[in-house]
Amino acid sequence: MNRSQLELEPGLILDARRAVWLEHERALLVSDLHLGYVWTHRHGGQMLPVGIPDDTLARLALLVSEYRPEQLILLGDILHGDTPVEAVLSELQQLIAGLGQQTRLRLIEGNHDVGLKRALHRLGSDLPVELGFMLGPHALLHGHLPTRLQAPAYLAAATERRGRLIFGHEHPAVSLSDGIASRARCPCFIVADSALVLPCFTTWSTGGGGGEPFSPLGQALLNRRLIAIVAGKLLPLSPSR
């Protein structure tokens, strides 16, 4: 184990590449891929550059090749939007045809995934899209408002099993400075009592909130502390409150 990984508790490992490895369940977890980010913004009139390569799927493929998970679980916001652009379907097809051949894909629906089921149907895929589920002792969901009312039951079930409620949605990040001239915005994990929030996997989003959750679910977490990702290493920070 090195500073690019941190075993939060036995069998639950944080990876500085914005992922979580559940060793006992042989499951790799990432959240907020936001595939089609550029095309969705361009479709809405914001001319983001298409010449800058999106390495989301390549980074995810590398993680799968290293961990060799039995399951790859995407914790919501798999697509950035419901955009009728073939390039977005192509990215989703690469995910399904590429990584889906190496491991079992499980998809959790996020607030951006309004067109996900329709896109899967267009690709001829019968992959189910779930709101959340239990995996071993842990409860997995996206964390947006439609699942908020289910969250207490998920949290109670995870706590009873001595697991965690694990979700994304927040895009947590924190600004770090040397106090003089250098300043960097770093994605981070949020660790709380019986809960864990993942950073967004896409690099298009810098994250927000100074590491403070914005959703009702995130704000309800107790004893929050941050583990920032700095230059490929994990840096535990002082509790946020």
Please tell me whether residue 12 adopts helix, strand or coil conformation: strand
Question: What kind of fold does domain 5-236 have according to CATH?
Answer: Purple Acid Phosphatase; chain A, domain 2 (3.60.21)
Residues 6+ apart with CB under 8 A from 42: 48, 50
Domain locations in the chain as residue ranges: 5-236
CA dist 22 → 58, 83, 112, 176, 218 (Å): 21, 33, 25, 29, 21
**Nearest-angstrom CA–CA distance, 38 and 29:** 23
Per-residue confidence of the chain (241 residues) as pLDDT tens digits? Answer: 579 999 999 999 999 999 999 999 999 999 999 997 655 544 454 454 555 567 999 999 999 999 999 999 999 999 976 676 777 888 999 999 999 999 999 999 999 899 999 999 999 999 999 999 999 999 999 998 655 556 777 788 888 889 999 999 999 999 887 667 667 889 999 999 999 999 999 987 777 766 788 888 888 888 999 999 999 999 999 764 4
CA dist 140 → 4, 30, 106, 173 (Å): 23, 11, 11, 21
Please tell me whether residue 57 adopts helix, strand or coil conformation: helix
